[in-house]
Amino acid sequence: MDTKIFAGSPYPLGATYDGKGVNFSIYAENAEGVDLCLFNKSEEDAKPLKIRIKERTHQVWHVYVPNIGPGQLYGYRVYGPYDPENGHRFNPHKLLIDPYAKAIAGTLQWDDSLFGYEVGHPEKDLSFSSQDSASYLPKCVVVDQSFDWEGDKPLRTPLHKSVIYEMQVKGFTQLHPDIPREMRGSYSALAHPTTISYLQALGVTAIELMPIHHFITDWHLQEKGLTNYWGYNTIGFFAPDVRYASKGIQGQQVNEFKEMVKTLHQAGIEVILDVVYNHTGEGNEMGPTLSFRGIDNAAYYRLTEDCRYYMDYTGTGNTLNARLPNVLRLIMDSLRYWILEMHVDGFRFDLASALARELHEVDKLSSFFDVIHQDPVISQVKLIAEPWDIGEGGYQVGKFPPGWAEWNGKYRDCIRDYWIGADSMLGEFADRLTGSSDLYQDDYRKPTASINFVTAHDGFTLHDLVSYNEKHNEANGEDNNDGDSHNRSWNCGAEGPTDDEEINRLRARQKRNLLTTLFLSQGVPMLVAGDEFGRTQQGNNNAYCQDNEISWLDWAGKDESLLNFTQQLIALRRDHPIFCRRKWFQGIPIKGIGLEDIAWFLPDGVEMDDSHWDHDFARSLAVFLNGHGIRSLDDDGSKIVDQSFYIMFNAYWEPINYTLPAKKYSARWVKILDTTLETIGAHEEVDAEASMTLQGRSIVVLMSAS
């Protein structure tokens, strides 16, 4: 290898190939020296070429190495004080992953040498390890960013027309019989025609991928024979994880990911990434030294007053310090990279409140939000917050700034409570159904600020929500002590699988009730992969470590009836703009019609007044949605008009008689949906003021016939 080197440039950070060589650049503010280590991939036993980086511009160390290119393996060693009590944990015996690495070849192989201290030493992390870790750390890879996108452009599907589908890359296709075995569980499998056809038939507009940034599996999980299946343990914010690569791991995973995005875009499906910028996989002070900790611990992490320890707002042992300019730059550079180079359409930010913390309190005007708001690239994609962390004051549902949508945890809790018959106010149910104006309207946000969901990856699946009262996490190896014990679930009369047909019919109806409520609510619906056909995790509500049949989608056992119902339900939402309004309901008469855009009714057909909303025992109500009251214009400037709908909800366990409203709302109605039935479509016509009987725990949807 030609060892001639040049000064290079401090920017861009990372490893940048220009056709003749590679520029390497790394931020290490408190470091006293940096070595670039180049590894020969064809000679695994050969010693790496070590290049001392002599050029430093401000806090950035840089060097240019000619005559190397894509596929080159590399890592860093960084010199400085090993002084944990003052926040410094430099140890040149530890090979380190470049925070800006675009690809990482392989996965971590656990060994004591990966720790900056001597494992088992009585002084714990205050001791110093001189063991070399290079043999056990995956190497960074130089990549060629050129790619033929064939004119691919952002789809920019409006949020009010979006249906988000949360999935895990591997689990979605790992058991799919129509996808080649060697391709299953990969990025390529998500671009396979079978997958594309399924997503299009289902009717979703975007897939939200659980973390695909390169992550690590904790040692304690590996010792139990488990793994970090969900991926919330990032160590490389620019690198697509190799576990989902089917075409090679020395840079090929980058193009495989791009091919997936391009193919999904051609099918009209956006790609949203679940990203974890709040912490890294290095854990607390007793964790390994893999990247940030060894590069410059104090310049990346939030430390306590005693700088030996980490602020932990995430439950993972550490929190990245988004107050610092270099960390903000890392996050923004990563986001821009995934938008501009990888063509993704948006992000869901895990534990986003942790990013918003300035000193201790969550501050929605923090520098993190300021920088995103002014960025001409990042501000234009879909930005979704998980609006909580585990720290004090971390529950921030409804408090993120304009431009952000939020996972609406209050929607999830309210809808679950309503359908299991818990004591909850009808007023809150109405708020959640109509977009949660109580949470978002005061900040000039729209109903699309609410990402509505009944289930997510974390917790019970939809099937398990109606099949289990208690969590069953024994397979996780923590004596069933992990996971939330308050699930707002109901097993309908038996715990787990049963041969009781009456219970199974009730469970099927409850699933249809929950799905119908979700897709007819204002806001943006999010469906978890497999819920549309009854996927079960056997009662495990914390399957983060289950990379097996517990988590993988069981395509052979899917409930075709429920799948068909869900497809029809999504199509109903798509075809009727009344269910995906861009603006809030106003509750005032429409000019020239004299009817409000929305009205609420008791089962006897009488409009509800203020006194009815505070009842925590009421289970039954109806809502009128006026198709002439949408108050929005279509893309061509024409007024959006739809048919009117009358939706009757009966969460009571016995049948209830409903009287339809007066003729002014509609002289005649068509029943198009009844959750006691397995299909959606025109069933029968009924006149205004007619009486209808709703079965216990059911929904009936009527559409105006004229």
For 411-466, strand residue ranges (E) read: 450-452
- DSSP, collapsed to helix, strand or coil, labels residue 412 as helix
Report pLDDT for 200.
Answer: 98
Q: Length of the chain in residues, anyone?
A: 706
Q: According to the model, what pLDDT value does residue 44 have?
A: 57
Given a cut of 80, whether residue 349 has pLDDT beyond it is yes
pLDDT reported for residue 41: 73
Sequence-separated (6 or more) residues with CB below 8 Å from residue 370: none
Q: What is the DSSP string of 283-348?
A: -STTS--SSHHHHHHHHHB-B-SSTTSB--SSSSS--B-TTSHHHHHHHHHHHHHHHHTT---EEE
Strands (E), 422-491: 450-452
Distances, alpha carbon 516 to alpha carbons 258, 425, 483, 489, 531, in Å: 35, 20, 27, 17, 13
Per-residue pLDDT of 355-388, as tens digits, reads 777 655 666 557 788 889 899 999 999 999 988 7
Tokens representing 3 are 């060892």
CB contact set of 612 (below 8 Å; sequence gap of 6+) = 426, 602, 618
C-alpha 689/C-alpha 667 separation (Å) is 9
The confidence score (pLDDT) of residue 2 equals 54
For residue 627, CA distances in Å to 577, 582, 703 come to 8, 14, 10
Residue 359: the pLDDT is 52
Stretch (H or E) spanning 259 = helix 252-266
Asked if residue 230 lies in contact with residue 170, where contact means CB atoms within 8 angstroms, the answer is no
Averaged pLDDT, 159-168: 98
Residue 634 has pLDDT above 90, yes or no: no
pLDDT number for residue 45? 56
**pLDDT higher than 90, residue 27:** yes
Confidence check: pLDDT of 46 > 80: no
Give the pLDDT mean for 241-258. 97
Q: At what angle do helices 325-340 and 367-374 cross, to 10 degrees?
A: 40
Alpha carbon of 615 to those of 232, 432, 699: distances in Å? Answer: 41, 16, 20
pLDDT (tens digit, 9 = 90+) per residue, 516-541? 999 999 999 999 999 999 999 999 99
Give the percent of the chain with pLDDT over 90: 84
The answer, yes or no, to whether residue 40 has pLDDT greater than 60, is yes
The most confident of the ranges 267-276, 314-323, 351-360, 606-615 is: 267-276
Strands 270-275 and 206-209, bridge-based pairing: parallel
CA 248, CA 191: separation in Å to the nearest integer? 17
pLDDT confidence tier of residue 278, bands split at 50, 70 and 90: very high
What per-residue confidence (pLDDT) applies to 611? 79
Residues classed as catalytic: 350, 386
Under a CB-based contact definition with an 8 Å cutoff, are residues 323 and 358 in contact? yes
CA 487 vs CA 165, 338, 395, 415, 517: distances in Å: 21, 35, 18, 12, 18
Instruction: Check whether 331 has a pLDDT greater than 70.
Output: yes
| Amino acid 591: pLDDT | 65
Within 10 Å of residue 609's Cβ, how many Cβ atoms? 9
Enter the CATH code of domain 585-704: 2.60.40.1180
Q: How far apart are CA 463 and CA 475, in angstroms?
A: 19
Whether pLDDT at 410 is above 70: yes
User: Where is 226: in which H helix or E strand?
Assistant: none
> Do 346 and 123 contact (CB within 8 A), yes or no?
no
Two domains, one topology: 408-576 and 585-704:
no
pLDDT value for 422: 86
Has residue 133 got a pLDDT over 90?
yes
Looking only at the bridges linking them, the beta strands covering 21-27 and 14-17 are antiparallel
CA distance 311 to 313: 6
Map tokens 């499998």 to a residue.
Answer: 189
Q: Which helix (H) or strand (E) holds 382?
A: strand 382-385
Res 513: pLDDT: 98
pLDDT of residue 364: 57
Q: So what's the pLDDT on residue 361?
A: 65
**To the nearest whole number, what is the mean pLDDT of the chain?**
94
Report domain extents, the chain: 408-576, 585-704
Rounded to an integer, the average pLDDT of 584-588 is: 86
Q: When comparing pLDDT for 50 and 615, which is higher?
A: 50
C-beta of residue 534 within 8 angstroms of C-beta of residue 559: yes
Taking 70 as the threshold, does the pLDDT of residue 242 lie above it? Answer: yes
pLDDT-derived band of residue 592, with 50, 70 and 90 as boundaries?
low
Residues with Cβ < 8 Å from 319, sequence gap 6 or more?
Answer: 278, 279, 301, 302, 310, 311, 312, 313, 354, 357
Helix or strand run (H / E) with residue 448: none
pTM attached to this predicted model: 0.96
Report the C-alpha gap between 495 and 469 in whole angstroms: 7
In angstroms, rounded to a whole number, what is the distance separating the alpha carbons of residues 386 and 307? 28
The amino acid at 675: T
Task: Read off the pLDDT band of 400 (50, 70, 90).
Answer: confident
pLDDT at residue 584 greater than cutoff 80: yes
Which of 61-65, 272-276, 348-352 comes out lowest in average pLDDT? 348-352
Architecture of domain 408-576: Alpha-Beta Barrel (3.20)
Instruction: Look at residue 282 in the predicted model and tell me its pLDDT.
Output: 98
pLDDT per residue over 195-240, tens digit each? 999 999 999 999 999 999 999 999 999 999 999 999 999 999 999 9
